[in-house]
Amino acid sequence: MPDLLDTHLENRWLVQPNHANSLGTTHGGDVLKWMDELGVLSAMRFAGENCVTASIDGVEFRRPIPVGETAVVDAYVYETGRTSVSIRVRVHRENPRTGGRKFTTESYAVYVAVDSDGDPTPVPDLTVGSERGERLRADALDGKK
């Protein structure tokens, strides 16, 4: 059975002018795309199957990510159903020169594992084998309330 920490992924995107709106900050749609891409990768790593997006909870953009900074997205599985995988996705803006980070947004998404015919297929049970994993899971469950 996959462990929560096996599903914890992090990726970075350098915000370029083609990602920017008229204010010189990242389009919300680009951030959502990056969140969904990393979320599905985490779900697929867990399920060992292709996964599709079933839902994404509301997203509140708390601070912008300006051109020249880095969008750091992390995602991990915190809960499962019979064929579904629940993922917490968080975004920070990062200064690429100093590494300083500020929280920008988060969301909770559900992905469904599918077989080669596109039909839902069962996923394994989630295990949490470390204190760090327990903290991440508890944080996700608390934030979901």
What is the 3-class SS of 96-109, one letter each residue? CCCCCEEEEEEEEE
Structural tokens at position 105: 């947004």
How far does CA 97 lie from the centroid of its chain? 24
41-62 pLDDT tens trace: 999 999 999 999 999 998 999 9
Confirm if 37 and 45 have CB atoms less than 8 A apart: no
pTM, 2 dp: 0.94
Tokens 């599905």 locate to 40
Contacts for 18 with CB less than 8 Å, ≥ 6 apart? none
DSSP lists the bridge partners of residue 93 as 71, 102
69-109 pLDDT tens trace: 999 999 999 999 999 999 999 999 999 999 999 999 999 99
- Sorted by where each begins, the domain ranges of the chain are 4-144
Tell me the CATH number for domain 4-144. Answer: 3.10.129.10
